[in-house]
Structure 1
Amino acid sequence: MELRQLTYFEAVARCGGFTRAAQQLHVAQSAVSAQIRALESELGVTLFSRTTRRVTLTAAGARFLEHARAALSELDSARGEIAELSDVLRGRVAIGATSVLGPFDLSAALAGFHGRYPGVGLTLRSGLIATLLGRLDSGEVDLVLGPIHDDLPARFAAGQLATESVVLVLPPGTRPITGLSGVREKAFVCLAAESGLRAILDDAAKAAGFTPQVLFETSSPASIRELVSAGLGVALLAQSAAERDGPPIQICRLEPAPAHPPIGLIQHREHRLTAAARACRRHLLESAA
Protein backbone atom coordinates (compact mmCIF):
# COMPACT_ATOMS: atom_id res chain seq x y z
CA MET A 1 0.00 0.00 0.00
CA GLU A 2 1.40 3.37 -1.02
CA LEU A 3 0.77 6.86 0.33
CA ARG A 4 -0.22 7.94 -3.18
CA GLN A 5 -2.99 5.36 -3.20
CA LEU A 6 -4.42 6.70 0.08
CA THR A 7 -4.25 10.25 -1.25
CA TYR A 8 -6.03 9.32 -4.49
CA PHE A 9 -8.65 7.25 -2.65
CA GLU A 10 -9.46 10.10 -0.23
CA ALA A 11 -9.73 12.57 -3.12
CA VAL A 12 -12.16 10.37 -5.08
CA ALA A 13 -14.31 9.89 -1.96
CA ARG A 14 -14.30 13.61 -1.20
CA CYS A 15 -14.92 14.75 -4.78
CA GLY A 16 -17.50 12.08 -5.56
CA GLY A 17 -15.86 10.98 -8.77
CA PHE A 18 -12.61 10.13 -10.57
CA THR A 19 -12.67 13.05 -12.99
CA ARG A 20 -12.99 15.78 -10.35
CA ALA A 21 -10.44 14.03 -8.14
CA ALA A 22 -7.94 13.85 -11.01
CA GLN A 23 -8.46 17.55 -11.75
CA GLN A 24 -7.85 18.49 -8.14
CA LEU A 25 -4.78 16.27 -7.92
CA HIS A 26 -3.46 17.55 -11.28
CA VAL A 27 -2.95 14.03 -12.63
CA ALA A 28 -4.53 11.99 -15.41
CA GLN A 29 -7.82 10.27 -14.61
CA SER A 30 -6.35 6.99 -15.82
CA ALA A 31 -3.61 7.24 -13.19
CA VAL A 32 -6.21 7.72 -10.44
CA SER A 33 -8.28 4.79 -11.68
CA ALA A 34 -5.20 2.56 -11.89
CA GLN A 35 -4.13 3.34 -8.33
CA ILE A 36 -7.61 2.73 -6.93
CA ARG A 37 -7.79 -0.64 -8.74
CA ALA A 38 -4.38 -1.58 -7.31
CA LEU A 39 -5.54 -0.59 -3.81
CA GLU A 40 -8.75 -2.63 -4.12
CA SER A 41 -6.77 -5.59 -5.37
CA GLU A 42 -4.39 -5.41 -2.41
CA LEU A 43 -7.23 -5.06 0.12
CA GLY A 44 -9.35 -7.71 -1.59
CA VAL A 45 -12.50 -5.57 -1.46
CA THR A 46 -14.36 -3.13 -3.67
CA LEU A 47 -14.07 0.40 -2.32
CA PHE A 48 -16.36 2.21 -4.78
CA SER A 49 -19.61 1.36 -6.51
CA ARG A 50 -19.24 2.66 -10.06
CA THR A 51 -22.08 3.50 -12.43
CA THR A 52 -22.14 5.62 -15.55
CA ARG A 53 -23.50 8.54 -13.51
CA ARG A 54 -21.90 8.39 -10.09
CA VAL A 55 -19.28 6.88 -7.84
CA THR A 56 -20.17 6.02 -4.25
CA LEU A 57 -18.37 4.34 -1.39
CA THR A 58 -19.18 0.76 -0.53
CA ALA A 59 -19.56 -0.21 3.12
CA ALA A 60 -15.92 -1.38 3.09
CA GLY A 61 -14.90 1.85 1.37
CA ALA A 62 -16.63 4.00 3.99
CA ARG A 63 -14.85 2.12 6.78
CA PHE A 64 -11.50 2.32 5.02
CA LEU A 65 -11.97 6.07 4.43
CA GLU A 66 -11.90 6.67 8.19
CA HIS A 67 -8.53 4.97 8.49
CA ALA A 68 -7.14 6.62 5.37
CA ARG A 69 -8.04 10.10 6.59
CA ALA A 70 -6.58 9.36 10.03
CA ALA A 71 -3.34 8.19 8.44
CA LEU A 72 -3.12 11.23 6.16
CA SER A 73 -3.88 13.53 9.07
CA GLU A 74 -1.10 11.96 11.16
CA LEU A 75 1.29 12.36 8.26
CA ASP A 76 0.39 16.04 7.83
CA SER A 77 0.89 16.56 11.55
CA ALA A 78 4.29 14.87 11.44
CA ARG A 79 5.34 17.01 8.47
CA GLY A 80 4.27 20.14 10.32
CA GLU A 81 6.19 19.18 13.46
CA ILE A 82 9.33 18.36 11.50
CA ALA A 83 9.10 21.65 9.60
CA GLU A 84 8.64 23.58 12.85
CA LEU A 85 11.55 21.75 14.47
CA SER A 86 13.71 22.71 11.52
CA ASP A 87 12.70 26.34 12.01
CA VAL A 88 13.38 26.11 15.77
CA LEU A 89 16.88 24.76 15.23
CA ARG A 90 17.78 27.75 13.06
CA GLY A 91 16.19 30.38 15.31
CA ARG A 92 17.06 32.98 17.91
CA VAL A 93 15.06 34.08 20.95
CA ALA A 94 15.35 37.40 22.80
CA ILE A 95 14.05 37.33 26.38
CA GLY A 96 13.53 40.22 28.76
CA ALA A 97 13.46 39.46 32.49
CA THR A 98 13.12 41.49 35.66
CA SER A 99 15.43 40.63 38.55
CA VAL A 100 12.44 39.53 40.64
CA LEU A 101 11.00 36.23 39.42
CA GLY A 102 9.90 34.66 42.69
CA PRO A 103 10.87 30.99 43.02
CA PHE A 104 11.08 30.56 39.24
CA ASP A 105 14.65 29.59 38.30
CA LEU A 106 15.19 31.22 34.93
CA SER A 107 18.82 30.12 34.64
CA ALA A 108 17.91 26.47 35.13
CA ALA A 109 14.99 26.76 32.69
CA LEU A 110 17.19 28.30 30.00
CA ALA A 111 19.85 25.66 30.59
CA GLY A 112 17.19 23.01 30.01
CA PHE A 113 16.04 24.73 26.83
CA HIS A 114 19.63 24.96 25.56
CA GLY A 115 20.04 21.25 26.22
CA ARG A 116 17.00 20.50 24.06
CA TYR A 117 17.82 23.03 21.33
CA PRO A 118 21.58 23.69 21.43
CA GLY A 119 21.54 25.47 18.08
CA VAL A 120 19.10 28.20 19.15
CA GLY A 121 20.70 31.54 20.00
CA LEU A 122 19.48 33.14 23.23
CA THR A 123 19.64 36.81 24.20
CA LEU A 124 18.72 37.83 27.76
CA ARG A 125 17.99 41.46 28.65
CA SER A 126 17.24 42.68 32.16
CA GLY A 127 15.41 45.73 33.44
CA LEU A 128 12.29 47.01 35.12
CA ILE A 129 8.99 45.68 33.83
CA ALA A 130 7.94 48.98 32.22
CA THR A 131 11.18 49.12 30.22
CA LEU A 132 10.89 45.51 29.15
CA LEU A 133 7.29 45.93 28.01
CA GLY A 134 8.47 48.83 25.87
CA ARG A 135 11.02 46.51 24.29
CA LEU A 136 8.28 43.95 23.74
CA ASP A 137 6.24 46.64 21.98
CA SER A 138 9.15 47.53 19.69
CA GLY A 139 9.99 43.91 18.92
CA GLU A 140 13.41 44.02 20.61
CA VAL A 141 12.43 41.01 22.72
CA ASP A 142 10.09 38.12 22.00
CA LEU A 143 9.07 37.30 25.58
CA VAL A 144 9.17 39.05 28.95
CA LEU A 145 9.31 37.46 32.38
CA GLY A 146 8.23 39.64 35.26
CA PRO A 147 5.35 40.73 37.48
CA ILE A 148 1.88 40.79 35.92
CA HIS A 149 0.36 44.01 37.24
CA ASP A 150 -3.39 44.61 37.22
CA ASP A 151 -2.96 47.43 34.71
CA LEU A 152 -1.13 45.30 32.14
CA PRO A 153 -2.30 46.70 28.77
CA ALA A 154 -4.68 44.52 26.78
CA ARG A 155 -2.21 44.25 23.90
CA PHE A 156 -0.15 41.87 26.06
CA ALA A 157 -1.02 38.28 26.95
CA ALA A 158 0.39 36.69 30.09
CA GLY A 159 0.65 33.24 31.62
CA GLN A 160 1.49 32.78 35.28
CA LEU A 161 4.81 31.17 36.23
CA ALA A 162 5.02 31.69 39.99
CA THR A 163 3.71 33.64 42.97
CA GLU A 164 5.66 36.23 44.95
CA SER A 165 5.40 37.86 48.38
CA VAL A 166 6.41 41.23 49.80
CA VAL A 167 8.47 41.63 52.99
CA LEU A 168 9.84 44.59 54.94
CA VAL A 169 13.64 44.78 55.07
CA LEU A 170 15.53 46.69 57.75
CA PRO A 171 19.22 47.32 58.46
CA PRO A 172 20.93 44.35 60.16
CA GLY A 173 20.46 44.19 63.92
CA THR A 174 17.22 46.18 63.86
CA ARG A 175 14.40 44.99 66.10
CA PRO A 176 11.86 43.07 63.95
CA ILE A 177 8.39 44.54 63.50
CA THR A 178 5.19 43.12 62.01
CA GLY A 179 3.32 46.29 61.04
CA LEU A 180 4.32 48.83 58.42
CA SER A 181 3.18 51.67 60.68
CA GLY A 182 6.14 50.82 62.90
CA VAL A 183 8.51 52.40 60.35
CA ARG A 184 6.35 55.38 59.38
CA GLU A 185 9.03 57.82 60.58
CA LYS A 186 11.86 56.02 58.76
CA ALA A 187 13.42 56.94 55.43
CA PHE A 188 12.50 54.52 52.65
CA VAL A 189 14.58 53.11 49.82
CA CYS A 190 12.65 52.16 46.68
CA LEU A 191 12.65 51.94 42.93
CA ALA A 192 11.66 54.89 40.74
CA ALA A 193 8.24 56.51 41.10
CA GLU A 194 6.85 54.80 37.99
CA SER A 195 7.79 51.31 39.17
CA GLY A 196 5.41 48.64 40.39
CA LEU A 197 7.27 48.36 43.69
CA ARG A 198 6.70 52.05 44.40
CA ALA A 199 2.98 51.57 43.79
CA ILE A 200 2.99 48.64 46.24
CA LEU A 201 4.77 50.78 48.85
CA ASP A 202 2.42 53.74 48.38
CA ASP A 203 -0.70 51.55 48.65
CA ALA A 204 0.57 49.67 51.72
CA ALA A 205 1.61 52.88 53.49
CA LYS A 206 -1.74 54.50 52.69
CA ALA A 207 -3.51 51.50 54.23
CA ALA A 208 -1.31 51.94 57.32
CA GLY A 209 -2.21 55.63 57.54
CA PHE A 210 0.90 57.45 56.37
CA THR A 211 2.82 58.67 53.31
CA PRO A 212 6.27 57.09 52.92
CA GLN A 213 9.28 59.39 52.68
CA VAL A 214 11.35 57.90 49.88
CA LEU A 215 14.74 59.56 50.27
CA PHE A 216 16.72 57.08 48.20
CA GLU A 217 15.71 55.90 44.75
CA THR A 218 17.60 53.17 42.94
CA SER A 219 17.32 51.10 39.81
CA SER A 220 17.30 47.51 41.04
CA PRO A 221 16.16 45.35 43.96
CA ALA A 222 19.78 44.34 44.56
CA SER A 223 20.82 47.95 45.14
CA ILE A 224 17.81 48.44 47.46
CA ARG A 225 19.23 45.66 49.61
CA GLU A 226 22.70 47.23 49.57
CA LEU A 227 21.39 50.63 50.68
CA VAL A 228 19.24 49.15 53.43
CA SER A 229 22.15 47.01 54.63
CA ALA A 230 24.25 50.18 54.84
CA GLY A 231 21.66 51.72 57.18
CA LEU A 232 20.31 54.33 54.76
CA GLY A 233 16.67 53.37 55.20
CA VAL A 234 14.07 50.62 55.17
CA ALA A 235 12.26 49.12 52.20
CA LEU A 236 9.60 46.81 50.90
CA LEU A 237 11.15 44.09 48.78
CA ALA A 238 10.07 40.93 47.02
CA GLN A 239 10.72 37.97 49.29
CA SER A 240 12.79 36.16 46.67
CA ALA A 241 15.10 39.19 46.36
CA ALA A 242 15.38 39.57 50.13
CA GLU A 243 16.32 35.91 50.63
CA ARG A 244 19.11 35.82 48.04
CA ASP A 245 22.74 35.90 49.07
CA GLY A 246 23.91 39.45 49.61
CA PRO A 247 24.63 42.13 52.18
CA PRO A 248 23.01 41.37 55.56
CA ILE A 249 19.50 42.69 56.23
CA GLN A 250 16.71 42.07 58.71
CA ILE A 251 13.65 40.49 57.03
CA CYS A 252 10.22 41.10 58.56
CA ARG A 253 7.00 39.49 57.40
CA LEU A 254 4.19 41.99 57.69
CA GLU A 255 0.63 41.45 58.89
CA PRO A 256 -1.23 42.04 56.69
CA ALA A 257 1.31 41.37 53.94
CA PRO A 258 1.18 43.77 50.95
CA ALA A 259 0.07 42.00 47.79
CA HIS A 260 2.64 41.33 45.08
CA PRO A 261 1.52 40.60 41.51
CA PRO A 262 2.19 37.07 40.23
CA ILE A 263 5.25 36.43 38.12
CA GLY A 264 4.36 35.67 34.53
CA LEU A 265 5.49 35.08 30.98
CA ILE A 266 4.30 37.94 28.78
CA GLN A 267 4.04 38.18 25.01
CA HIS A 268 2.60 40.70 22.56
CA ARG A 269 -0.77 39.67 21.13
CA GLU A 270 -0.08 41.35 17.79
CA HIS A 271 3.43 39.97 17.24
CA ARG A 272 3.64 36.44 15.85
CA LEU A 273 6.26 34.42 17.67
CA THR A 274 8.88 32.60 15.64
CA ALA A 275 9.07 28.82 15.89
CA ALA A 276 12.07 29.16 18.22
CA ALA A 277 10.24 31.65 20.46
CA ARG A 278 7.16 29.39 20.58
CA ALA A 279 9.34 26.46 21.61
CA CYS A 280 11.00 28.59 24.28
CA ARG A 281 7.64 29.77 25.59
CA ARG A 282 6.41 26.17 25.88
CA HIS A 283 9.59 25.14 27.68
CA LEU A 284 9.42 27.99 30.19
CA LEU A 285 5.78 27.21 31.03
CA GLU A 286 6.61 23.51 31.37
CA SER A 287 9.53 24.39 33.65
CA ALA A 288 7.25 26.45 35.88
CA ALA A 289 4.72 23.63 36.05
Structure 2
Amino acid sequence: MELRQLTYFEAVVAHGGFGRAAQHLRIAQPAVSTQVRKLESELGVTLLRRTTRRVELTRAGELFLAKVRAVQDELAAARTDLALLAGGDIGRVRIGAIQALDPFDLSSSLAAFHRRHPDVELVLRPGRVAALLDALDHDHIDLAICPLPGELPEHVTAAHLFTDELVLITAPEHPTATAGALPITALRDEPFVCLPPASGLRARLEQLAADAGFTPRIPFESASLPQLRDLVAHGLGVALLARSVAEAPGRPVAVHQVDPGPVLRPVGLLHRTDRPLVPAAQACRAFLLRSAGAHRRPPHAS
Protein backbone atom coordinates (compact mmCIF):
# COMPACT_ATOMS: atom_id res chain seq x y z
CA MET A 1 0.00 0.00 0.00
CA GLU A 2 1.38 3.37 -1.04
CA LEU A 3 0.56 6.83 0.20
CA ARG A 4 -0.33 7.98 -3.31
CA GLN A 5 -2.97 5.23 -3.53
CA LEU A 6 -4.64 6.63 -0.41
CA THR A 7 -4.41 10.14 -1.86
CA TYR A 8 -5.98 9.06 -5.16
CA PHE A 9 -8.78 7.13 -3.43
CA GLU A 10 -9.67 10.08 -1.18
CA ALA A 11 -9.59 12.46 -4.16
CA VAL A 12 -12.01 10.26 -6.16
CA VAL A 13 -14.45 10.33 -3.25
CA ALA A 14 -14.00 14.03 -2.52
CA HIS A 15 -14.47 15.07 -6.18
CA GLY A 16 -17.15 12.54 -7.08
CA GLY A 17 -15.37 10.67 -9.85
CA PHE A 18 -12.10 9.58 -11.44
CA GLY A 19 -12.05 12.30 -14.07
CA ARG A 20 -12.50 15.19 -11.67
CA ALA A 21 -10.02 13.61 -9.25
CA ALA A 22 -7.46 13.37 -12.04
CA GLN A 23 -7.99 17.02 -12.92
CA HIS A 24 -7.54 18.02 -9.29
CA LEU A 25 -4.40 15.92 -8.96
CA ARG A 26 -3.16 17.05 -12.39
CA ILE A 27 -2.42 13.55 -13.59
CA ALA A 28 -3.94 11.30 -16.24
CA GLN A 29 -7.21 9.58 -15.36
CA PRO A 30 -5.95 6.04 -16.18
CA ALA A 31 -3.24 6.49 -13.52
CA VAL A 32 -5.88 7.25 -10.89
CA SER A 33 -8.03 4.27 -11.93
CA THR A 34 -5.03 1.92 -11.95
CA GLN A 35 -3.83 2.88 -8.48
CA VAL A 36 -7.29 2.61 -6.91
CA ARG A 37 -7.75 -0.88 -8.44
CA LYS A 38 -4.35 -1.89 -7.05
CA LEU A 39 -5.42 -0.61 -3.64
CA GLU A 40 -8.63 -2.64 -3.74
CA SER A 41 -6.69 -5.71 -4.83
CA GLU A 42 -4.23 -5.35 -1.95
CA LEU A 43 -7.03 -4.88 0.56
CA GLY A 44 -9.13 -7.68 -0.92
CA VAL A 45 -12.33 -5.60 -0.86
CA THR A 46 -14.28 -3.34 -3.20
CA LEU A 47 -14.08 0.26 -2.05
CA LEU A 48 -16.01 1.96 -4.84
CA ARG A 49 -19.05 1.06 -6.95
CA ARG A 50 -18.52 2.40 -10.42
CA THR A 51 -21.47 3.35 -12.59
CA THR A 52 -21.67 5.24 -15.85
CA ARG A 53 -22.64 8.43 -14.04
CA ARG A 54 -21.10 8.36 -10.58
CA VAL A 55 -18.86 6.60 -8.09
CA GLU A 56 -20.27 5.43 -4.76
CA LEU A 57 -18.59 4.15 -1.62
CA THR A 58 -19.24 0.60 -0.49
CA ARG A 59 -19.57 -0.11 3.24
CA ALA A 60 -15.91 -1.17 3.21
CA GLY A 61 -15.11 2.05 1.39
CA GLU A 62 -16.84 4.14 4.05
CA LEU A 63 -14.84 2.47 6.80
CA PHE A 64 -11.61 2.78 4.90
CA LEU A 65 -12.21 6.43 3.98
CA ALA A 66 -12.45 7.38 7.66
CA LYS A 67 -9.06 5.73 8.29
CA VAL A 68 -7.51 7.37 5.24
CA ARG A 69 -8.63 10.83 6.32
CA ALA A 70 -7.32 10.21 9.84
CA VAL A 71 -3.94 9.28 8.35
CA GLN A 72 -3.98 12.39 6.19
CA ASP A 73 -4.76 14.54 9.22
CA GLU A 74 -1.86 12.99 11.12
CA LEU A 75 0.50 13.57 8.19
CA ALA A 76 -0.63 17.18 7.90
CA ALA A 77 -0.03 17.68 11.62
CA ALA A 78 3.39 16.06 11.29
CA ARG A 79 4.30 18.39 8.43
CA THR A 80 3.24 21.37 10.53
CA ASP A 81 5.28 20.16 13.52
CA LEU A 82 8.34 19.57 11.36
CA ALA A 83 8.01 23.02 9.86
CA LEU A 84 7.76 24.52 13.34
CA LEU A 85 10.70 22.42 14.49
CA ALA A 86 12.80 23.56 11.56
CA GLY A 87 11.87 27.16 12.34
CA GLY A 88 12.76 26.85 16.03
CA ASP A 89 9.15 27.28 17.18
CA ILE A 90 8.94 23.93 18.98
CA GLY A 91 11.53 21.80 20.71
CA ARG A 92 13.56 21.83 23.92
CA VAL A 93 16.45 24.07 24.96
CA ARG A 94 18.65 23.12 27.92
CA ILE A 95 20.65 25.97 29.40
CA GLY A 96 23.31 25.87 32.10
CA ALA A 97 24.33 29.08 33.83
CA ILE A 98 26.45 30.42 36.65
CA GLN A 99 24.79 32.17 39.59
CA ALA A 100 26.03 35.74 39.09
CA LEU A 101 24.66 37.06 35.82
CA ASP A 102 24.12 40.76 36.49
CA PRO A 103 24.16 43.05 34.58
CA PHE A 104 22.50 40.61 32.13
CA ASP A 105 18.89 39.86 33.12
CA LEU A 106 18.59 36.21 32.09
CA SER A 107 15.14 35.76 33.65
CA SER A 108 13.67 38.64 31.65
CA SER A 109 15.30 37.43 28.45
CA LEU A 110 14.03 33.86 28.87
CA ALA A 111 10.54 35.16 29.65
CA ALA A 112 10.56 37.26 26.48
CA PHE A 113 11.77 34.28 24.44
CA HIS A 114 9.03 32.10 25.94
CA ARG A 115 6.38 34.64 24.99
CA ARG A 116 7.63 34.59 21.41
CA HIS A 117 8.10 30.80 21.29
CA PRO A 118 5.52 29.39 23.73
CA ASP A 119 5.88 25.82 22.46
CA VAL A 120 9.62 25.66 23.11
CA GLU A 121 10.38 23.94 26.42
CA LEU A 122 13.09 25.79 28.36
CA VAL A 123 15.24 24.01 30.97
CA LEU A 124 17.65 25.97 33.21
CA ARG A 125 20.30 24.39 35.43
CA PRO A 126 22.91 26.10 37.64
CA GLY A 127 26.57 25.17 37.59
CA ARG A 128 30.18 26.26 37.84
CA VAL A 129 32.43 26.65 34.81
CA ALA A 130 33.99 23.18 34.91
CA ALA A 131 30.61 21.53 35.45
CA LEU A 132 29.02 23.49 32.61
CA LEU A 133 31.80 22.56 30.19
CA ASP A 134 31.43 18.93 31.25
CA ALA A 135 27.68 19.15 30.70
CA LEU A 136 28.27 20.49 27.19
CA ASP A 137 30.70 17.64 26.51
CA HIS A 138 28.17 15.02 27.59
CA ASP A 139 25.23 16.64 25.77
CA HIS A 140 23.39 17.39 29.00
CA ILE A 141 22.90 21.04 28.00
CA ASP A 142 22.73 22.89 24.69
CA LEU A 143 23.96 26.31 25.85
CA ALA A 144 26.19 27.41 28.73
CA ILE A 145 26.43 30.89 30.23
CA CYS A 146 29.66 31.29 32.17
CA PRO A 147 32.89 33.28 32.49
CA LEU A 148 35.15 32.66 29.53
CA PRO A 149 38.03 30.36 30.53
CA GLY A 150 41.54 31.09 29.33
CA GLU A 151 41.31 28.37 26.73
CA LEU A 152 38.20 26.78 25.29
CA PRO A 153 38.11 23.21 23.97
CA GLU A 154 38.37 23.12 20.18
CA HIS A 155 34.79 21.90 19.86
CA VAL A 156 33.34 24.75 21.97
CA THR A 157 32.75 28.30 20.79
CA ALA A 158 31.70 31.36 22.78
CA ALA A 159 29.95 34.63 22.05
CA HIS A 160 30.33 37.55 24.46
CA LEU A 161 27.25 38.38 26.57
CA PHE A 162 28.52 40.94 29.06
CA THR A 163 31.52 41.92 31.18
CA ASP A 164 31.42 42.11 34.96
CA GLU A 165 34.11 43.33 37.33
CA LEU A 166 35.67 41.35 40.16
CA VAL A 167 36.18 43.36 43.35
CA LEU A 168 37.53 42.74 46.84
CA ILE A 169 35.05 43.01 49.71
CA THR A 170 35.61 43.30 53.44
CA ALA A 171 33.43 43.81 56.50
CA PRO A 172 32.50 47.46 57.22
CA GLU A 173 34.65 47.43 60.37
CA HIS A 174 37.72 45.98 58.64
CA PRO A 175 40.84 48.21 58.91
CA THR A 176 40.86 48.69 55.13
CA ALA A 177 37.11 49.39 54.87
CA THR A 178 37.53 53.10 54.17
CA ALA A 179 40.35 52.60 51.68
CA GLY A 180 39.66 52.96 48.00
CA ALA A 181 41.24 50.53 45.58
CA LEU A 182 43.21 47.74 47.26
CA PRO A 183 46.04 45.54 46.03
CA ILE A 184 45.24 41.94 46.81
CA THR A 185 48.48 41.78 48.82
CA ALA A 186 46.83 44.04 51.40
CA LEU A 187 44.65 41.05 52.31
CA ARG A 188 47.23 38.28 52.04
CA ASP A 189 47.07 37.44 55.77
CA GLU A 190 43.28 37.49 55.89
CA PRO A 191 41.02 34.43 55.69
CA PHE A 192 39.20 34.33 52.36
CA VAL A 193 35.74 32.99 51.65
CA CYS A 194 35.17 31.55 48.17
CA LEU A 195 33.38 29.06 46.00
CA PRO A 196 34.63 25.45 46.13
CA PRO A 197 37.57 24.28 43.99
CA ALA A 198 36.93 23.83 40.24
CA SER A 199 34.93 27.05 40.15
CA GLY A 200 36.01 29.88 37.88
CA LEU A 201 35.97 32.37 40.78
CA ARG A 202 38.23 30.14 42.89
CA ALA A 203 40.68 29.78 40.01
CA ARG A 204 40.72 33.55 39.47
CA LEU A 205 41.37 34.26 43.16
CA GLU A 206 44.18 31.72 43.31
CA GLN A 207 45.75 33.10 40.14
CA LEU A 208 45.63 36.71 41.36
CA ALA A 209 47.16 35.66 44.67
CA ALA A 210 49.86 33.58 42.95
CA ASP A 211 50.76 36.52 40.74
CA ALA A 212 51.11 38.58 43.93
CA GLY A 213 53.34 35.92 45.54
CA PHE A 214 51.09 34.21 48.08
CA THR A 215 48.56 31.42 48.46
CA PRO A 216 45.20 32.50 49.86
CA ARG A 217 43.96 30.80 53.01
CA ILE A 218 40.34 29.75 52.41
CA PRO A 219 38.70 28.34 55.54
CA PHE A 220 35.17 29.15 54.38
CA GLU A 221 33.62 27.70 51.25
CA SER A 222 30.07 27.92 49.97
CA ALA A 223 28.32 27.17 46.70
CA SER A 224 26.07 30.20 47.31
CA LEU A 225 27.35 33.62 46.28
CA PRO A 226 24.91 35.48 48.59
CA GLN A 227 26.18 33.36 51.48
CA LEU A 228 29.80 34.23 50.64
CA ARG A 229 28.88 37.90 50.78
CA ASP A 230 27.05 37.37 54.07
CA LEU A 231 30.07 35.62 55.62
CA VAL A 232 32.19 38.64 54.76
CA ALA A 233 29.56 41.03 56.12
CA HIS A 234 29.75 39.19 59.46
CA GLY A 235 33.52 39.64 59.60
CA LEU A 236 34.50 36.01 58.99
CA GLY A 237 36.76 36.76 56.06
CA VAL A 238 37.31 38.73 52.87
CA ALA A 239 36.38 37.79 49.34
CA LEU A 240 36.84 38.34 45.65
CA LEU A 241 33.38 38.62 44.12
CA ALA A 242 31.65 40.00 41.07
CA ARG A 243 30.71 43.64 41.64
CA SER A 244 27.09 42.77 40.89
CA VAL A 245 27.11 40.33 43.84
CA ALA A 246 29.10 42.64 46.12
CA GLU A 247 26.68 45.53 45.55
CA ALA A 248 23.52 43.44 45.84
CA PRO A 249 21.07 44.23 48.65
CA GLY A 250 21.97 42.78 52.04
CA ARG A 251 24.14 43.45 55.08
CA PRO A 252 26.68 46.18 54.27
CA VAL A 253 30.15 45.34 53.02
CA ALA A 254 33.03 47.52 51.91
CA VAL A 255 33.69 47.19 48.18
CA HIS A 256 37.18 47.80 46.78
CA GLN A 257 38.37 47.85 43.21
CA VAL A 258 41.43 45.65 42.77
CA ASP A 259 44.61 47.73 42.41
CA PRO A 260 45.94 47.71 39.76
CA GLY A 261 42.64 47.15 38.04
CA PRO A 262 39.95 46.82 37.17
CA VAL A 263 39.83 43.02 37.11
CA LEU A 264 37.25 42.31 34.42
CA ARG A 265 35.32 39.09 33.97
CA PRO A 266 33.92 38.51 30.47
CA VAL A 267 30.93 36.18 30.43
CA GLY A 268 29.93 34.34 27.29
CA LEU A 269 27.29 32.10 25.74
CA LEU A 270 28.91 28.78 24.85
CA HIS A 271 27.87 25.88 22.65
CA ARG A 272 29.45 22.96 20.86
CA THR A 273 30.48 23.34 17.24
CA ASP A 274 31.09 19.68 16.44
CA ARG A 275 27.36 18.96 16.33
CA PRO A 276 24.62 21.31 15.16
CA LEU A 277 22.31 23.02 17.61
CA VAL A 278 18.68 22.06 17.19
CA PRO A 279 16.69 24.92 15.61
CA ALA A 280 15.03 25.85 18.92
CA ALA A 281 18.44 26.19 20.57
CA GLN A 282 19.70 28.21 17.61
CA ALA A 283 16.73 30.55 17.97
CA CYS A 284 17.26 30.86 21.73
CA ARG A 285 20.97 31.55 21.35
CA ALA A 286 20.32 34.29 18.79
CA PHE A 287 17.60 35.79 20.99
CA LEU A 288 19.82 35.88 24.10
CA LEU A 289 22.63 37.53 22.18
CA ARG A 290 20.27 40.16 20.79
CA SER A 291 18.78 40.87 24.20
CA ALA A 292 22.11 40.98 26.06
CA GLY A 293 22.26 44.74 25.72
CA ALA A 294 18.53 45.35 26.07
CA HIS A 295 17.97 43.74 29.47
CA ARG A 296 20.84 45.00 31.56
CA ARG A 297 20.07 45.84 35.17
CA PRO A 298 21.48 49.08 36.56
CA PRO A 299 24.25 48.64 39.17
CA HIS A 300 23.04 48.12 42.72
CA ALA A 301 23.64 50.94 45.10
CA SER A 302 26.33 50.26 47.68
TM-score, normalised via structure 2 length: 0.65
Aligned to 1:261: 265
SS in 1 for 2:228: helix
SS of the residue 1:89 aligns to: coil
Matching of residue 206 in structure 1 with residue 247 in structure 2: no
Aligned 8 A contact 1:184 1:212 in 2 = yes
What is the SS of the residue equivalent to 2:112?
A: helix
Q: RMSD of aligned C-alpha atoms? A: 2.4
Please give the alpha-carbon distance, in whole angstroms, between the structure 2 residues aligned to 1:261 and 1:137: 23
Return 5+ residue gaps in structure 1 as ranges.
Answer: 1-26, 29-81
In the alignment, the residues of structure 1 paired with residue 226 and residue 262 of structure 2 have an alpha-carbon distance, to the nearest angstrom, of: 20
**Quick check: 1:98–1:129 contact (8 Å CA) kept in 2?**
yes
**Cα distance in 2 between the residues matched to 1:116 and 1:90:** 11
Alignment correspondent of 1:176: 178
- Letter in structure 2 aligned against 1:170: T
Contact 1:167 1:257 in 2 (8 A): no
> Which residue of 243, 248, 251 maps to 1:244?
248
TM-superposed deviation, 1:85 = 6.0
Deviations 1:166-218 (A, max 9, x none): 10011133323322222121101111222221221122223333221111122
Quote the residue 2:140 is aligned against: 140
Report whether the alignment pairs 1:281 with 2:285.
yes
Deviation >6 Å, runs of 4+: none
8 A contact 2:90–2:117 mirrored in 1: no
Q: Determine the C-alpha separation between the residues in 2 that align with 1:145 and 1:246.
A: 25
Name structure 2 gaps, 5 residues minimum. 1-26, 29-81, 294-302
Amino acid at match of 2:91: G
Please give the alpha-carbon distance, in whole angstroms, between the structure 2 residues aligned to 1:207 and 1:87: 49
Query: Which structure has the larger Rg?
Result: 2
Q: Which structure 2 residues correspond to residues 210-249 of structure 1 after superposition, within 5 A?
A: 210-249=214-253
- Compute the displacement of 1:86 (Å): 5.9
- Residue pairs, 1:159-174, within 5 angstroms: 159-174=159-174
Question: What's the counterpart of residue 155 of structure 1?
Answer: 155
Q: Which residue of 2 aligns with 1:122?
A: 122
Aligned to 2:100: 100
* Distance apart, 1:256 and its partner CA: 1.0
Asked if the contact 1:202/1:212 (under 8 Å) is kept, the reply is: yes
SS of the aligned residue for 1:123 comes to strand
Letter in 2 for 1:264: G
Residue aligning to 1:6: none
Cα distance in 1, alignment partners of residues 202 and 262 from structure 2: 12
Identity of aligned residues (%): 44
Secondary structure, in 3 states, of the residue corresponding to 2:132? Answer: helix
**Residues 167 and 263 in structure 2, CA contact (< 8 A), matched pair in contact too:** no
